[in-house]
Amino acid sequence: MDNAKVQDKRINKQRVMLLSSRGIIYRHRHLMMDLEGLLPHAKKDAKLDTKSDLYLLNELAELNNCNNAIFFEVRKRQDLYLWMSKTPNGPSVKFHVQNLHTLDELKMTGNCLKGSRHVLSFDKNFDSAPHWQLLKELLGQVFNVPKGSRKSKPFIDHVLSFSIVDNRIWFRNYQIVEKTAQNTPNFSLEDKIDDISLVEIGPRFCLTVVRIFDGSFGGPTVYENTEFVHPNYVRSLERRSKSQKYAKRQVSIKERDARIQQAEQSKETELSNKNVFS
């Protein structure tokens, strides 16, 4: 009987390691803190000094007794890449994070209990292709808070929404609000028909798939997004467009000077002051 009481009855024993690379800025750090608050089964670790030897994350996850890992990789102190992996065997995916807004920036009216569990909502487009189905399973295992996990509370009061629009994954966090006489003016029994509404809490961000790997933080490529445009290429196009504007302006200035000089020469005749008094 004593052994039966001591035995852990939990089936889902997911734990997530959360860490970042060096050079992270305050907005990215605030997003990581927001995710840490949303995932009570996550364990935060120190910053990783290297960006090339990502296989070390598998050893760190094993030391922290975690079977999932979320790694924030920052490039040039402005480009944020989000790694999600099932350690130590994979698969893993690399996302490019865009349209980032943290809790402090949004100041939404929604609120939820810290450490409470949530409902995961996936768009129907996740069943449209094999790589989306793989990402649905990976996101579900990473963001799903197990029942009875550490620091979690036995309440469900918010929803995490994952939607696919423009070949990107859009993340939203909503509070589940029930209509009562305290929060609804002129409350009646008819309001009980639609007594649940959603109010956004935050954070919100957009994930663009860069590549899916068979292993954990590396290995053979399972899927590569051919539509992904690297931010360095986008910035180079912007600089090139600005340089083209400068070149066009210089050419127009030279053409204007040439037209003025040609006009002055055409005005000169035999009776002009320059020829008479020369």
- One domain, residues 59 and 167: yes
- One domain, residues 81 and 17: yes
| Ordered alpha helix ranges (H), 144-196 | none
* Nearest to 213, CA basis, from 50, 93, 85: 93
CATH number at residue 202: 3.40.50.10480
Per-residue pLDDT of the chain (278 residues; tens, 9 = 90+): 445 455 556 667 889 999 999 889 999 999 999 999 999 999 999 899 888 889 999 999 999 999 999 999 999 888 999 999 999 898 999 999 999 999 988 888 888 888 899 999 999 999 999 999 999 999 999 999 988 887 888 889 999 999 999 999 999 999 998 877 666 666 666 656 667 888 999 899 999 999 999 999 999 999 999 999 998 888 888 888 888 888 888 889 988 888 888 877 776 666 666 666 66
- One domain, residues 179 and 250: no
- The amino acid occupying position 48 is L
- One domain, residues 186 and 247: no
Helix, strand, coil shares, percent, the chain, to 5 = 35, 35, 35
Q: Which of 207, 228, 249 is the last residue of a domain?
A: 228
Please return the burial class of 87, using the count of CB atoms within 10 Å of its CB with bins 0-12, 13-18 and 19+. buried
Structural domain of residue 62, as residue ranges? 2-228
Please return the burial class of 90, using the count of CB atoms within 10 Å of its CB with bins 0-12, 13-18 and 19+. buried
pTM, rounded to two decimals: 0.80
* Nearest to 222, CA basis, from 54, 73, 19, 86: 86
